[in-house]
Structure 1
């Protein structure tokens, strides 16, 4: 009896030993495609940084946001569920990437930093916010400043060589620019700066920050162009005929053209840099032109809100929301649903070339 029990234990030990060292670890290695993701951007990829900004009104840490998130609670994501940053991390075999400001006060963040950090901030712009006393968001440059602090800690704990290897294999997604374009039309800037001058300065400022990330370890960048932001429920609601705002869309397209040219030049300037540009503008245009082909029944009105197109107010706790979130393009008056984010991420990962160039992210991680 004892010998049978001992034999069973040995068999179990053998199974777990070989499963762990021959099978399980191999599957884990295959599941994790990149070491980490360091995410920069605006509300499209914010996972809760703005929750920590005392004076910011750009927050989503209240119902009905998060109604389809795994915890069924609002987290600071401007979405009914997961956003593109969450979904891309899943595809990369990574755990949920935490917001930087949730980690900044903790004493030992190395383990978390090794998986990646999300620096994105709702309402963030490429240009710095003019109200520095009570900032509504964390600008792109300030996000890069935070990254430098993370990079410094990685170097201190891992050593310069291992930290550089880790960062050079990691992904650096950047999703920003929409709020700069909205600012142009909503301020006096357009009285003294032409659209072309403005988008040129946007691309130049972005380039400066990407070079800083490169100088401190970044090599693989996922750059997302500005989408068809003149077609959000908010912009439609401002038009008498509820059509898209053509001026806003034209400027977004103009910026994307300059951005693509800048990235091509950057590739020739910086040794070892690689990138995948995602044309979110064209993909969103397809959603609106042929919604049924992508599973959408509603591409004009928001799911959550009040008034015309559910766009007279943001998705506040007293707002109404639709029961069929997955067939709506927009969750609230400016942000996509999780269903839309999922399609965006699939295109970011797998292309085709007309939407992701010079390579898609699947090929980028293999470089």
Structure 2
């Protein structure tokens, strides 16, 4: 896809770029110029709506029942998701779906449509390309990064090389991915025969590192990494146990990956000392929701709000499904995804996070890092 217009002529180019950069100055309350989001259904804001044969979509009721428009948007939630709340904290509009922007893109645009960021996140996506096979279609991380390279080219064409570099370097790169890789490992006897859990999560971390280096080559400097939650405690996993207990092997693999991710990030920082990052310990945060729900206003931690059957986890959240009258009571909206309430509390905790939830700095501190 070609997204460029002709370069600004040399005579007037400097002043055009200068005026654009003035216009790009962060508005009051805006902490960074832009947020670029990479990930899976936890932060998908509608990309999968544009994938014609994908089985992983949320563009139907009862999704979106508590969204401001009261309509499904492609978010796997009753309302807003973590990407929305993070954008609000940053003083930015929610990064729009990349596939939505390019479907309406025109080379006659006087400015780039990607100035405040864009989301490449896709339901069913994983670090490994193969995680989308059972869902027919999604945008794996490698493809998301390729899309970013096209966005970077577009920013260079509109802002100039120096202007784009400064703009991107001050922006946040949010990475929320890995759940589908762990679920894929859990559900595949072949994968478990090929790799021990430690080997598998090490491959996940090293593959992610390769993609981060690609982003760094194109001016990414500030990263937010969201660790895996206790995946074994989501309704789909609890439903596999007669007592509805959390699936401990899945949880152990989540913890194992988080440790591999942290080790990889420390090594990457030593290699690329101009990067800064914030690691968000969602495992501890969600575990606290599950173990002490009343402290956060929850009354139901096992069952999904929307679905049918045991724990509302036999049938997914479809138009034929039932949904709970008070979504604020539930940690989980459907088989896998948190409610709007859980997502809001999570972002509240990690944005101004204590060392219990963020390392080596919280998101607010990361946004303030000067580059």
TM-score by length of 1: 0.90
Q: Which residue of 2 aligns with 1:107?
A: 106
Q: Is the Cα–Cα contact under 8 Å of residues 56 and 135 in structure 2 kept in the other structure?
A: no
Query: 1 CA distance for matches of 2:50 and 2:296?
Result: 36
Pick aligned residue for 1:86 from 84, 87, 96: 84
Q: Within 2, Cα distance between the matches of 1:32 and 1:203?
A: 32
Gaps of at least 5 residues in structure 2 are 1-22
For 1:312, which of 311, 314, 328 is the aligned residue?
314
Aligned to 1:238: 240
**Gaps in structure 1 of 5+ consecutive residues:** 1-24
- CA shift, 1:117, in A, is 0.3
1:165 equivalent in structure 2: 166
**1:136 shift after superposition:** 1.9
What are the residue-to-residue correspondences of 1:71-220 with 2, within 5 Å?
A: 71-105=69-103, 106-108=105-107, 110-129=111-130, 135-187=136-188, 188-220=190-222
Q: Name the residue aligned to 1:38.
A: 36
Q: Distance in 1 between matches of 2:293 and 2:258?
A: 23
Q: How many Å separate the matches in 1 of 2:134 and 2:219?
A: 31
| Number of corresponding residues | 342
RMSD (Å) for aligned C-alpha atoms: 1.7
Deviations along 1:235-258, one digit per CA (max 9) or x if unpaired, are 001112110000000000001001
In 2, the alpha carbon distance for the partners of 1:139 and 1:58 equals 13
Aligned to 1:281: 283
**How far apart in 1 are the matches of 2:267 and 2:314?**
42
CA distance in 2, matches of 1:228, 1:134: 22
Question: In structure 2, what is the Cα distance between the partners aligned to 1:348 and 1:111?
Answer: 31
**3-state SS of 1:296 partner:** coil
The aligned residue for residue 16 of structure 1 is: none
Is the Cα contact below 8 Å between 2:63 and 2:77 reproduced in 1? yes
Q: CA deviation at 1:107?
A: 1.2
Residues 1:130 and 1:316: Cα distance change in structure 2 (over 3 Å): closer
Separation in structure 2 between the aligned mates of residue 134 and residue 47 of structure 1, nearest angstrom:
18
In the alignment, what sits opposite 1:15? none
List per-residue Cα deviations over 1:178-225 (Å, max 9, x = no partner). 100010111111011110000000000001111111110111100001
8 A Cα contact 2:32 2:170, kept in partner:
yes
Aligned position for 1:252 = 254
Going from structure 1 to structure 2, the CA distance change for 1:62 and 1:212 (only over 3 Å counts) comes to: same
2:13 — aligned with what?
none
TM superposition score normalised by structure 2: 0.89
Provide the secondary structure at the position in 2 that maps to 1:298: coil
Equivalent residue number for residue 228 of structure 1: 230
Asked if structure 2 preserves the Cα contact closer than 8 Å seen for 1:129 and 1:135, the reply is no
Matched, 1:294 2:292: no
Given that 1:278 and 1:355 are in contact with CA atoms closer than 8 Å, whether structure 2 keeps it comes out as yes
Cα 1:72–1:133 change in 2 (3 A) is closer
**Greater Rg over alpha carbons, structure:** 1
1:266 match? 268
